[in-house]
């Protein structure tokens, strides 16, 4: 579906219809800064309820919050999905704190849409207690919960949503022993069978479902996304959440990824990472703790991600969604990471130009002059 030939200048990637246009008119200014609340929720104030945590975020300089829907301290997903009146009130109370809701997330519930039996015990903790030990019921609950999030997003006036695909094939990602013929194809066909009805529900609600490309998921790089997209018959709601940190750990070219897939990117996690291989450990990490792994997540500015290039490319390609901090770091505290994150993102957001820098030297259109210059 995609190949290296798809890495093209922005003025050509959209096809011949755009080749005579000034690409600058398509550029957009990214919104932000925003923060994903999942890593900050806790039992102590101000992190234990939606209003106090939103006030905390606003005081740090954030303009938006991304809400994890599995956190009942932050959202009643049932009520938001079922009642437009309640959704309006919920959104209004949050906006009174000085931030707005950027997106909802079902990362944990989406994970449970597809779980290989080898991981049942480890992922059971993502499900309600009464469903643990019952994979069939757990999967059905996950499917209905993600569908519910589509309705909730629409009720909140939000038209992009974050999730994981889950995984049936991940345990075979390193091919030893050799994978049986047809295994990968059947794995993605089954993943598509589970997700297509969910994607259809998102389509009915006018919401894009943006899958985070992430190790541990069957969709963990560009090629696997292409397989999934093809298996879902290029479903128009099947899109991407871009997070460069996971590409650093895989040693994948995260800038070329933007050149290839920019028209599929509907969400952006601003998250840093570093990869420092050594003579004892590499990409697979040696089963070490995060602080000892060659690949590890870092607070913004402490890792190796070239955010100047990323913000430039996203702006150039017309991404006008939110830049959302996802804080994960094995060294720095979450409080310091959050405090540093808002100004870091704000400093990287590009207010895109509305004119060419050399307009001062422009001349009025003159067909006769143009023909003369061409020697015609």
E strand intervals along 111-183: 160-163
Determine the pLDDT at residue 354: 78
pLDDT exceeds 60 at position 60: yes
> Could you say which DSSP state residue 30 is in?
P
7-16, 137-146, 225-234: range with lowest mean pLDDT: 7-16
Q: Does position 18 have pLDDT exceeding 50, yes or no?
A: no
The values of phi and psi at residue 97, to 5°, are: -80, -10
Mean pLDDT of 151-171: 98
What pLDDT does 270 receive? 98
Q: What domains sit in the chain, N to C, each tagged with a CATH number?
A: 24-173+180-373 (3.20.20.150)
Contact between 191 and 231 under an 8 Å Cβ cutoff? The reply is yes
Q: 330: which 2 tokens?
A: 């094995």
pLDDT digits (tens, 9 = 90+) for 92-126: 999 999 999 999 999 999 999 999 999 999 999 99
Retrieve residue 52's tokens: 């106090």
Q: Which residues contact 59 (CB under 8 A, 6 or more apart)?
A: none
In this prediction the pTM is 0.91
pLDDT at 15: 40
Predicted local confidence at residue 357, as pLDDT? 67
pLDDT at 6 over 80: no
Chain length of the chain = 376
Nearest to 126, CA basis, from 191, 76, 71, 189: 71
**pLDDT attached to residue 1:** 61
Supply the pLDDT for residue 2.
Answer: 59
What does the mean pLDDT of the chain come to? 93
Residue 353 banded pLDDT, cuts 50, 70, 90: confident
Helices (H) and strands (E) counted in the chain, each on its own, are 13, 10
> In sequence order, which residues have a C-beta less than 8 Å from that of residue 129 and are 6 or more positions away?
none
Nearest 5°: the CA angle 152, 85, 241 is 20
State what percent of residues in the chain have pLDDT above 70: 92
Q: How far is CA 331 from CA 94, 273, 297, 336, in A?
A: 31, 12, 9, 11
Rg (Cα) of the chain, in Å, rounded? Answer: 22
Of 9-18, 39-48, 62-71, 185-194, least confident by mean pLDDT is 9-18
- Contact 153/82 with Cβ under 8 angstroms? no
Q: 271-299 pLDDT, tens per residue? A: 999 999 999 999 999 999 999 999 999 99
Q: What is the mean pLDDT of residues 84-89?
A: 98
User: Residue 198's closest CA among 79, 106, 119?
Assistant: 106
* Number of Cβ atoms within 10 Å of the Cβ of 269: 23
Banded model confidence at residue 360, pLDDT cuts 50, 70, 90: low
**34-103-304 Cα angle (round to 5):** 45
Which whole number is the average pLDDT over 341-356?
A: 92
Query: For 174-213, how does the pLDDT look when each residue is reduced to its tens digit (9 = 90+)?
Result: 999 999 999 999 999 999 999 999 999 999 999 999 999 9
What is the structure's pLDDT at 269?
A: 98
Residue 291's alpha-carbon distances to 276, 279, 326, 329, 339, in angstroms, are 12, 17, 18, 9, 22
């Amino acid at each position: 579906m995609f190949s290296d030939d798809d890495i093209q200048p922005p003025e050509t990637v959209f096809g011949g219809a755009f080749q005579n246009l000034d690409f600058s008119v398509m550029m957009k200014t990214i919104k932000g800064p925003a923060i994903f609340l999942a890593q900050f929720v806790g039992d102590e104030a101000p992190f234990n309820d939606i209003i106090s945590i939103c006030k905390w975020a606003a005081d740090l300089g954030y303009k938006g919050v991304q809400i994890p829907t599995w956190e009942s301290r932050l959202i009643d997903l049932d009520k938001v999905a079922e009642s437009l009146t309640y959704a309006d009130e919920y959104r209004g109370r949050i906006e009174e704190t000085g931030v707005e809701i950027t997106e909802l997330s079902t990362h944990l519930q989406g994970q449970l849409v597809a779980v290989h039996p080898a991981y049942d015990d480890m992922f059971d903790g993502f499900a309600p207690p009464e469903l643990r030990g019952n994979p069939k019921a757990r999967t059905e609950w996950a499917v209905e919960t993600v569908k519910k999030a589509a309705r909730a997003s629409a009720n909140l006036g939000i038209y992009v949503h974050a999730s994981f695909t889950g995984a049936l094939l991940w345990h075979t990602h390193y091919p030893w022993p050799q994978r049986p013929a047809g295994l990968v194809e059947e794995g993605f066909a089954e993943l598509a069978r589970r997700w297509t009805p969910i994607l259809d529900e998102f389509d009915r609600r006018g919401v894009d479902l943006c899958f985070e490309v992430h190790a541990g998921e069957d969709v963990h790089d560009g090629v696997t996304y292409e397989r999934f997209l093809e298996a879902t018959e290029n479903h128009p709601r099947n899109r991407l959440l871009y997070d460069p940190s996971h590409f650093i750990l895989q040693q994948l070219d995260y800038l070329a990824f933007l050149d290839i897939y920019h028209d599929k990117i509907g969400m952006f996690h601003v998250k840093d990472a570093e990869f420092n291989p050594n003579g004892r450990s590499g990409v697979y990490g040696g089963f070490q703790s995060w602080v000892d792994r060659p690949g590890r997540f870092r607070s913004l500015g402490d890792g190796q991600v070239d955010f100047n290039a990323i913000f430039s490319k996203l702006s150039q390609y017309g991404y006008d969604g939110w830049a959302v901090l996802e804080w994960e770091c094995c060294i720095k505290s979450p409080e310091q990471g959050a405090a540093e994150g808002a100004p870091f993102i704000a400093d990287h957001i590009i207010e895109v130009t509305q004119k060419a820098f050399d307009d001062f030297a422009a001349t009025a259109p003159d067909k006769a002059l143009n023909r003369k210059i061409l020697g015609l």
